[in-house]
């Protein structure tokens, strides 16, 4: 396992976007950027050994600071939404920077996804990757306390990509970090994920209002399109008539309450035609599933093809949206002397079975 480093781009102010590439020549390889501590590409073989990039991404630097800012990025200081930019903490209400709709999304308009992190190559046994670090000052996007954040990517020869997050603070604050990669196991730019099979290990999900803010308590998935306890094609679920599907823009943009605790399986995504499969494990209590409902062709991927609706799916392991305003949700508070720790593992593989039979011609 080797780690190669190069300059991907130079910004107008002289700062450099650096790219690291690591992995196995005949297996899974990954590319990460210091811009947003971002997974920029991941090449995985299909059942016949043919590799393709299965992570959405853009080459344009302008896009990486614009419409593609979240693609593969480490988002924070708080992933997902905080309603109306209101953060109550220890008797004080902090006003956070907000975006369209008046809510704080993924840490604010200048969140972690648009920062240049410090990166160094790392090796642990047979695994190799990059460790990124960044200091977020007190008052950054309105959040209290200086936060020292770290995320480490480690890829093994077996195709297991491990993301480990750590953070400390010098004053009470909140933290909720995740990776925002979009996956298409057919290959980046190769159509939609509607034919992918998805399983989510959760008996409950959190309904949202028209602005995608949680309505309150989690509800059972039984009898709804959100019941993915057995693998279902994504297209078969998001075409069902259900007000929550319509509310999210004809797809998923919801948080599932994962079963169990500790590092355990959260979801499995597979693509029958290629045989590619990714299993997601996490220590986090929730999984936000977003099916790229709002892609409109305005972004062009590294394949040179535009991204339209459902071009990829994000499986974001995290705490629940708007937790600071919902004391009944698992806490995201971090205090001096404590350490935030989180781990998510993506196991990429390919089945060795036969190809699906072609559909009968009428």
- The closest alpha carbon to 289, from 298, 297, 280, belongs to 280
Within 8 A by CB and 6+ apart from 4, the residues are: 20, 21, 22
What CA–CA distance (Å, rounded) separates 20 from 266?
28
- HEC string of 311-361? CCEEEEEECCCCHHHCCCCCCCEECCCCCEEEEEEEEEEECCCCCCCCCCC
Catalytic residue of the set 180, 254, 271, 319: 180
What CA–CA distance (Å, rounded) separates 134 from 244?
37
Place of tokens 């305003």: 325
What CA–CA distance (Å, rounded) separates 28 from 349?
9
The token pair that represents 36 in the structure block: 């947003």
What CA–CA distance (Å, rounded) separates 190 from 62?
23
Is residue 67 within 8 A of residue 299, CB to CB? The reply is yes
Handedness of CA 348, 353, 355, 359 (dihedral sign): negative
Assess whether 180 carries a catalytic annotation.
yes
**Residues labelled as active-site residues:** 180, 316
């Amino acid at each position: 396992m080797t780690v190669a480093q190069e300059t991907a781009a130079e910004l107008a102010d002289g700062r450099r976007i650096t790219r690291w590439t690591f992995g196995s020549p005949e297996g899974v390889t990954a590319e990460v950027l210091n811009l947003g501590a971002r997974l920029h590409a991941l090449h995985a073989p299909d059942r016949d050994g043919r590799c393709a990039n299965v992570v959405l991404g853009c080459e344009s630097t302008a896009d990486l600071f614009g419409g593609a800012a979240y693609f593969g990025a480490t988002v924070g200081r708080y992933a997902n939404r905080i309603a109306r930019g209101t953060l109550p903490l220890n008797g004080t209400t902090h006003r956070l920077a907000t975006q369209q709709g008046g809510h704080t999304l993924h840490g604010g308009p200048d969140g972690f996804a648009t920062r240049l992190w410090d990166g160094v190559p790392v090796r642990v046994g047979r695994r190799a990757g990059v460790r990124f670090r960044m200091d977020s000052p007190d008052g950054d996007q309105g959040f209290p306390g200086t936060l020292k954040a770290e995320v480490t990517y480690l890829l093994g020869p077996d195709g297991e990509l491990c993301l480990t997050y750590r953070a400390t603070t010098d004053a009470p604050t909140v933290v909720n970090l995740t990776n925002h990669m979009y996956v298409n196991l057919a290959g980046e730019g190769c159509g939609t994920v509607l034919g992918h099979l998805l399983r989510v290990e959760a008996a409950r999900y959190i309904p949202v209002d028209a602005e995608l803010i949680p309505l309150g308590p989690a509800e059972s998935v039984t009898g709804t399109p959100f019941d993915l306890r057995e693998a279902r094609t994504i297209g078969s679920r998001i075409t069902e008539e259900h007000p929550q599907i319509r509310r999210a823009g004809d797809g998923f943009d919801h948080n599932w309450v994962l079963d169990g605790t500790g590092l355990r399986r959260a979801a499995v995504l597979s693509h029958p035609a290629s045989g590619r499969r990714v299993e997601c494990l996490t220590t986090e209590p929730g999984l936000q599933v977003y099916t790229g409902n709002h892609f409109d062709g305005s972004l062009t991927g590294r394949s040179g093809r535009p991204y339209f609706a459902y071009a990829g799916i994000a499986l974001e392991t995290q705490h629940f949206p708007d937790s600071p305003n919902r004391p009944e949700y698992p806490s995201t508070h971090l205090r001096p002397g404590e350490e935030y720790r989180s781990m998510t593992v993506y196991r990429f593989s390919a089945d060795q079975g036969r190809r699906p039979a072609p559909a009968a011609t009428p």
